A and B are shown apart, each in its own frame.
Chain A
Amino acid sequence: EVQLVESGGDLVQPGGSLRLSCAASGFTFSSYWMSWVRQAPGLGLEWVATIKQDGSEKYYVDSVKGRFTISRDNAKNSLYLQMNSLRAEDTAVYYCARGAGWWDIWGQGTMVTVSS
């Protein structure tokens, strides 16, 4: 079964850091672009970051540039999002999704809450 499973979401104080992980299974992970998309409570979807198959290209939404880093380990079939200098407005469910531009497989999401 094709599956993405996120983990790492937590309650963190403003200015803190968090690393999200996404474990892929059921498909050839190294053949796909991968992305993170988030959704703040009660609000819409927002694209966050995308990474090429070999990690050579990375793209970010302006609001996270310089604070978030997307990475992947193809040997471990895993995608990561390192989040630093977290702000209250980063509070959201973070989804791992397969693709770039359109996303055909989504994880169940992991909740990140930034609050003191």
Chain B
Amino acid sequence: QSALTQPASVSGSPGQSITISCTGTSSDVGAYNYVSWYQQYPGKAPKLMIYDVNQRPSGVSNRFSGSKSGNTASLTISGLQAEDEADYYCNSYSTSSTRYVFGPGTKVTVL
């Protein structure tokens, strides 16, 4: 069982915006600005999309943005495209014995 909570699936039409939530506690998401997001296609390695809550690595589309409020972090994909259909995982530093915790993942479907 993951320490973080994500919706199992989110869907949207091309061009729309969607938001994926990642809910933790005051021991992880709420404690530090060390939340990251990963995109993963089936059978492929994950790709870093957002780090430190809202920082975008070089080369990642500006359609991807991150934010945090309290114990919940969010990943927003604007101008949804067919290529965005993938699994998305959040991760947070944690003060628990498990230093880094992942969410269970969210499957994004482009309708």
Do chains A and B stick together as partners? yes
Q: Which residues of A contact B (CB under 8 A)?
A: 35, 37, 44-47, 50, 59, 61-62, 95, 100-104, 106-109
Q: A44-B105, A103-B46, A108-B45 are in contact. List 12 more A-B contacts (CB 8 A).
A: A44-B2, A44-B102, A44-B103, A44-B104, A45-B38, A45-B89, A46-B102, A47-B91, A47-B98, A50-B99, A95-B45, A104-B51
A106–B52 touching, CB < 8 Å? no
Residue-wise, chain B 81-104 has the 8 Å CB interface mask toward A (1 for contact) of 000000001010100011111111
Q: How far, in whole Å, are A14 and B102 apart by their CA atoms in the complex?
A: 26
B63 at the interface (CB under 8 A from A): no
Chain B residues in the interface with A (C-beta under 8 A): 2, 34, 36, 38, 40, 45-48, 51-52, 57, 89, 91, 93, 97-105
What is the CA–CA distance of A106 and B103 in the complex, to the nearest angstrom? Answer: 18
Q: Which residue of A lies closest to B50 (CB)?
A: A102
Quick check: B45 and A47 within 8 Å, CB to CB? Answer: no
User: A44-B105, A102-B36 in contact; A95/B46 too (CB < 8 A)?
Assistant: yes
Question: Which A residue's beta carbon lies closest to that of B48?
Answer: A104
- The contact of A59 among B99, B101, B102, B103, by CB within 8 Å, is B99
- Supposing A104-B51, A107-B45 touch, asked if A47 and B99 sit within 8 A by C-beta, the answer is yes
Interface centre among A102, A106, A107 (most CB of B within 10 A): A102
Which residues does chain B contribute within 8 Å of A101, judged by CB atoms?
34, 36, 91, 93, 100
Chain B minimum-CB-distance residue to A4: B45
Q: Could you list some 7 contacts between A and B, CB below 8 A? A: A44-B105, A45-B38, A47-B100, A50-B100, A95-B45, A101-B91, A102-B48
Closest A residue to B100 by CB, please name it. A47
